[in-house]
Structure 1
Amino acid sequence: MSIFKPLCFALLSAAALCLASCGEDEPKATQYNLSAVQPGENFTDPRDNNVYRTVRIGNQLWMAENLRYAPNGYSLDGAYTWDERPVDLTKIVPDNAAVIELIDHLFHDPKYNGWEVDGTPIAPWVEGFLKQLKRGRMTVAEVRENIKYLNPAFDDTLTVRLLKYAELPEARHKAGLANFEKTEKENGGYVAKNGFLYTFAAAQRVAPEGWRLPTDEDWKQLERTLGLPAREVERNEAWRGEGLATLLSVGGKTGFDARRTGGNLYQREAGNFYENKGKAWYFWTATSTMLQDSIPAAYVRLSDHFTTKVWRGTSRVANNYRPVLYSVRCVKDLK
């Protein structure tokens, strides 16, 4: 009798047994619970009048859009648009209008009592110099030279202010806004649809009053409410919840509408690393941690195009050259 048939039978039996045992080990598809999900009322941010859709998930109210709030200095204060490069601080120098504004502000500072010289206010001269500067009949250097002649202390104080110009809120706003508008024109208007990409430090400061940057626990509460099993919720540095990303992404049944906005991701090398626009979403949580006892990091949530699961894990907040940039959603508790 040929040994071929018994051997084939044995191999097929082993394969069937293997498939059966493998099937037993595979996690069952999660049955999500949408009964606790309903649309919320629109929220208008009083700081800039941006309007956000919201969604109620259990006893939490989540923004259903990425935050679009720009702090005063835009990227100088940690809010970037897509492919935006950092502002060169050495190029933030005052133009004539800014110099006039600085002189005028300093001149009228009550702390200096009109910058009197031998009891005589220098107001008539300074105001005359500024008029000539505005009309183009004097240069900034000439105005400063004349003021220095009248009151050297005034020019010394002005020099200090000019050196610190890049640190002034109005200078940061002007430079940050110009850099933002230039980049938005180049990228086709990223922020209106996708929101800003924030540094971790900025993400902790930008929530409107009454809202907060969600913690890792806030995200876990959302996941539990939707029906993600406890063993899956607690998994760390792992993809969790087959189908969860589908529910949370644009068009998903929760209305959470996470957009695949990409981010400026961590890498060791210098230079920016804006990646995965249209492929992945990344959200900061407020929960910070340390890697290897000394490397600042934070918990994040992300989803990528190759899976329907959501990653829970940590991300470094910067490398030696630049910050990492992710999107922000805000949450608040419902009574």
Structure 2
Amino acid sequence: MHTSFVVFNIIGLAIIVIAAFRIGVKVSKASKREAPEAQNKVTPEESFAKNNEKFKYGTFTDARDGETYHTVQIGNQVWMVENLRFKTEGSYAPGNEEENVKTYGRLYTWTAALNIPSEYTEQSPAKDLNMYHKIKEDNYQGIAPEGWHIPSLKEWEQLMDNLPAKSGGKELRSESAWLNPGTDSLGFFALPAGYRFDNGTYCQFGKRARFWCKDEYGKSNAYRLSLTINSMDIEGVYRSDAISVRCVKNV
């Protein structure tokens, strides 16, 4: 047997062993992340009670269905501390489980959030100029209760101005429900309700939060604020996706 052949086999075996070791490490890390002891054991109720003690939340009752929401002032804005729960066509329960609505609110398509016909899922509301200009006005109500409205891109950016530079959004994330707990230093109490695609698939419940903005982003998209366990951004997503709605008080 040639020496080169033996060396070749030894090198090949070494590569296989190293690859297997790396895969084993990845599997081990993944298992630890998914292990019960690695999960966030702070309940939303415990986290909320702590926040309420600290921020002295206000309250508001939606006259349409009697749902009461807590509120918080952040800078010059007043936000609902909870995701909207108002049930309407084009709204869904997070994770496709109605029991999640009480804590996580409902998920809405963009047209449901803006309370406009579903035909505007893939075309601009500019087809109806009166409606288009109404949406552009400040304090556009949409599906929000009376006295509240769907946030604009500018209002989301105003909220983010209260965060440190290069923030990953931990100041907005609740201390509960997230695998990587937030500090929730502003009392916003963002929970990971996930989202729903238009094909009926529910994704990222317990892992990601997305909130609608009233502003369009291209022909069939709209802006949204997204929070993950370590990041925050504002980008466009399909209007047919169903995501959370946070309401901001009229000024």
> Normalising by the residue count of structure 2, what TM-score does the alignment of the two structures yield?
0.60
The amino acid that maps onto 2:185 is K
Say whether the 8 Å CA contact 2:113–2:245 is kept in structure 1.
Answer: yes
| 1:261 counterpart SS class | coil
Q: CA deviation at 1:333?
A: 4.1
Equivalent residue, structure 1, for 2:113: 203
The amino acid that maps onto 2:145 is P
Q: Give the 5 Å matches for 1:238-249.
A: 241-243=166-168, 245-249=169-173
Q: CA deviation at 1:273?
A: 2.3
Equivalent residue, structure 2, for 1:254: 186
Q: Does 1:69 align with 2:1?
A: no
Higher helix share: 1
Of 92, 99, 110, which aligns to 1:80?
92
Q: CA deviation at 1:263?
A: 0.5
Of 310, 313, 328, which aligns to 2:232?
310
Cα distance between partner residues in 1 of 2:243 and 2:196 = 7
| 2:188 counterpart SS class | coil
Cα distance between partner residues in 1 of 2:94 and 2:145 = 23
In the TM superposition, structure 1's runs of 4+ consecutive aligned residues that sit over 6 Å from their partners are none
Q: CA deviation at 1:272?
A: 2.4
Cα distance between partner residues in 2 of 1:42 and 1:331 = 13
Identity of aligned residues (%): 34
Q: CA deviation at 1:70?
A: 1.1
Equivalent residue, structure 2, for 1:125: none
Q: Which runs of 5+ in 1 are unaligned?
A: 1-36, 72-76, 85-182, 230-240, 318-322
Equivalent residue, structure 2, for 1:276: 204
The amino acid that maps onto 2:147 is G
| 1:53 counterpart SS class | strand
Equivalent residue, structure 1, for 2:73: 56
Q: Deviations over 1:2-23 (max 9, x none)?
A: xxxxxxxxxxxxxxxxxxxxxx
> Normalising by the residue count of structure 1, what TM-score does the alignment of the two structures yield?
0.46
| 1:49 counterpart SS class | coil
Give the number of the structure whose alpha-carbon radius of gyration is greater: 1
Q: CA deviation at 1:39?
A: 4.4
The amino acid that maps onto 2:245 is V
Q: Give the 5 Å matches for 1:172-183.
A: none
The amino acid that maps onto 1:218 is E
Cα distance between partner residues in 2 of 1:55 and 1:303 = 19
| 1:42 counterpart SS class | strand
Describe the shift of the 1:201–1:248 C-alpha distance in structure 2 as closer, same or farther (beyond 3 A). Answer: same
Equivalent residue, structure 1, for 2:242: 325
Say whether the 8 Å CA contact 2:95–2:205 is kept in structure 1.
Answer: no
Q: Give the 5 Å matches for 1:1-80.
A: 39-71=56-88, 77-80=89-92
Cα distance between partner residues in 1 of 2:56 and 2:152 = 22
Q: Give the 5 Å matches for 1:74-223.
A: 77-84=89-96, 184=98, 189-205=99-115, 206-223=143-160
Cα distance between partner residues in 2 of 1:210 and 1:287 = 19
Provide the aligned length of Structure 1 versus Structure 2.
163
Q: Which runs of 5+ in 2 are unaligned?
A: 1-53, 116-142, 176-183
